[in-house]
Structure 1
Amino acid sequence: MKRLLFGTAAIIVFAAPAFAADLPARPYTKAPAYTVPQVVYNWTGFYIGGHVGGAFAGDNSLQGSDGRFLGGVQGGFDYQFASNWVIGAEAQYSWLTGDNNTGVLLPSGALVSGNTDQLGSVTGRLGYAWGPTLLYAKGGYAWRDDPHYGVSIGGTPVAFTTDGNHRDGYTLGAGLEYMFAPNWSAKFEYQYYNFGNTTFTSPASVAGARFQDDEHTVKAGLNYRFGWGGPVATRY
């Protein structure tokens, strides 16, 4: 019995290398390539923020051509669709610094002046986004506070009338916004406000004098975006 066991063991010892040599080689499997995560930006959601900038009246305005500082707040909502298009609405309110204008001297010797120190707007926005960058155009309703007109003759203020307050108007603009963090974006925009024309109707020394009520503004702003589930996602 012992001889049988030793014989069997010897056969196994000597036969194992030859048997192993006849087995096919283990196939080489390449490790899967590393995929870099792709960041997907989503502009959909509500936002609030603030802005600073400057306002410059048109050529035929009582505001004068000197720039005035402005600052304000804004809030709105965006919805991203068809991959790269963004549509939304925004409300904005700005305060302007005091009047830099000394007035317009008419041929009659009367000095007329005017000033606007608050601007507001409710606009629609349409933009195209690529990654964290959004290029957009905007337009809609504009509002301003009661215009502060004045008429003086020889340095003495006199009573006057106009054809209306011209507080309501329209606005158009365009801008570029950049999402630099998951919930934060910065923007730079140009916005034009137009409130029509104001005509002085009395006294006789200013009657018929007509001026345009418009503002050109440039603004830099910062928005906090609430998003729906976060504005930035990672996709593999």
Structure 2
Amino acid sequence: MKKFLLGTVALIAFAAPAAAADLAARPYTKAPPAPVAVVYDWSGFYIGANGGWGSSRKCWDLTADAIGPIVPAFAEGCHDATGGTAGGQLGYRWQAGTWVFGLEGQGNWADFQGNNVSLFDPTLRNESRIDAFGLITGQVGWAANNVLFYVKGGAAVTGDRFRIRDAATGIVVATTGDDTRWGGVVGAGLEFGFAPNWSAGIEYNHLFMQDRTHDFITNVGGLAFGSDRIRQDVDLVTVRVNYRWGGPVIAKY
């Protein structure tokens, strides 16, 4: 019995170092890498398309009729010329930290129409239409990774048409022809980068357009019909999609 116990103890003593050696020989497993922090860079040239809705407030003051000047000018009333718009934009942005700066040009087709009965002569309706506009703006924005909020401002131009119609028949009585009017614009937008080079957003702009006096000519005979000072501003809401070159997504560990 004593020999058996001594043999068992010796076997255990021999096996213990071998087991310890097995444990030490196990390979080292590297810890998984830290999560990747993705930083979206808004720098680069971009081109895109936009579409939405616009409204232009028009107020007419009659300054002269076919006989002669009207002093003081007679307020003929106001109307909203509303409708849809679609167009495109081209620009460049550069990013410094979380700040983003940019320049952009935009051109749009539009169909903003409206009219009102003249308070000077209720047999007539004053009609206006914007069929195009353009914006040249600078931008300052703040980026939170792939989300960009920005404000913008600059110059605006509209293509206007003004007509006077017979209220009963709708026949055009007098017109001014086409008018190109310059003014200013301020706006703000929110844009989301949904892919490395693609972004989509929504934008609001308000156009401050200068007042202008227009001489109306009869549609038949080309005779002087009268003059109106027309005041206007424009509000725009558009959805935008842009494709950008440069400024790739940068991965940091």
TM above 0.5: yes
Whether 2:45 is the aligned partner of 1:46: answer yes
Q: Is the 8 A contact 2:49 2:241 kept in 1?
A: yes
TM superposition shift of 1:152: 3.9
1:80-110 CA-partner distances (Å, limit 9, x unpaired): 01x100001000011112x542344232334
Instruction: Report if the CA contact (8 A) 2:47-2:243 is conserved.
Output: yes
Local SS of the residue matching 1:58:
strand
* 1:143 has 2:157 as partner: yes
* Bigger shift: residues 99-108 or 119-128: 99-108
1:215 to 215, 234, 247: 234
Alignment of 1:70-219 (within 5 A): 70-81=85-96, 83-97=97-111, 99-109=112-122, 110-145=124-159, 147-152=160-165, 157-159=172-174, 165=179, 167-200=181-214, 207=227, 209-219=228-238
Q: Give unmatched runs, 5+ long, in structure 2.
A: 1-13, 61-76, 218-223
Matching residue of 1:8: none
Contact kept, 8 Å, 1:183 with 1:226, in 2: the verdict is: yes
Which structure has greater strand proportion?
2
TM-score by length of 2: 0.71
Match of 2:84 in 1: 69
| Length-normalised TM-score, structure 1 | 0.76
Q: CA deviation at 1:160?
A: 6.3
Displacement of 1:202 in angstroms is: 6.2
Q: Give the aligned partner of residue 234 of structure 1.
A: 251
Contact kept in structure 2, 1:92 and 1:120, CA below 8 Å: yes
Deviation at 1:141, TM superposition (A): 0.9
Q: Secondary structure at the match of 2:129?
A: coil
Partner of 1:224: 243
1: distance between equivalents of 2:93 and 2:175? 46
For the Cα contact (< 8 Å) 2:58–2:232, is it kept in 1?
A: no
Q: Share of identical aligned residues, percent?
A: 31
Where does structure 1 lack aligned partners over 5 or more consecutive residues?
1-16
Deviation at 1:65, TM superposition (A): 2.7
Identify the residue that residue 69 of structure 2 maps to in structure 1.
none
How many Å separate the matches in 1 of 2:231 and 2:37? 51
In 2, are the aligned partners of 1:41 and 1:131 still within 8 Å (CA)? Answer: yes
What letter is aligned with 1:233? I
